[in-house]
Amino acid sequence: MTIMGLIPARGGSKRVPHKNLAPCGGRPLLAWTADAALGAACLDGVWLSTDDPAIAAAGRELGLSVPELRPAALSGDAVAMLPVVQHALDHWMGEDVSAVVLLQPTSPLRVAADIEAVGDLLETSGADSVVTVTPVPHRCHPLKALRLDAEGGVRPFFDDAPAQGETATLTLAPAYARNGPAVLATRAPVIAAGSLYGRDSRAHVMPADRSIDIDEPFDLWIADQILRTAAPGSGEGRS
């Protein structure tokens, strides 16, 4: 089975300017995903898809395969991920690729072992895709969600949810959420057919301490503190 890694890293970012090259743990944010991808034994190559010359240059320095910049039509804020993956599969990766592993730079705490676990599950399960998830904290469980009515009154978000305090946390079925996703592996025919998940998608559970998804400046600050504590100024210990 030939599996290729794809790191999508466009230059535009409104909430965190030039996010993919933002300093994090003493290195550019992109470096942590490059380390994990290049350290994953299941990947036969790791490609970078970007519209930004500076990101492309950084990717080459990190050891990633960086072809020409992606087309302008695939570079805007409103562009979905599927056409970006399809473009890379059609134009760069070759006809023998069995699956693509999508690795967003906004998950810097993911390690090579997470990628390998997803690749192994995709191969052994026969599923269309495997996506990483993380447990939802008990305080954020869907059945504990609330909404406010027009007068500011508190109501359960779901009409059939138990009233607050009537159900012990331990009796609630575990809930999970995609963690970015930090890793998404999808078979090439499923991507070609127009889906990133297909009909049969399985989950690999990652712990919360490796599941941060950087969307806001505060997320970047948290990741920076964690990485500086775990491996100050280097990528050691994160593979």
Write the CB contacts of 22 (distance below 8 Å, at least 6 apart in sequence). 16, 28, 29, 220
What is the distance between the alpha carbons of residues 194 and 90, in angstroms, rounded to a whole number? 13
193 by Cβ neighbours in 10 Å (0-12 / 13-18 / 19+) ranks as exposed
**8 Å CB contact between 7 and 33:** yes
Gap between the Cα atoms of 65 and 70, Å rounded: 13
CA distance 179 to 215: 12
Residues in a beta bridge with 23: 28
* Stretches in the chain below the pLDDT threshold 70: 163-170, 231-239
Residue whose C-alpha is closest to residue 219's, from 211, 229, 207, 231: 211
pLDDT tens profile 103-122: 999 999 999 999 999 999 99
Can you give the pLDDT at residue 169? 61
Domains of the chain: 3-136+176-230 (3.90.550.10), 137-173 (no CATH)
- Tell me what pLDDT residue 167 has: 60
Residue 232: the pLDDT is 40
Amino acid 234: pLDDT: 40
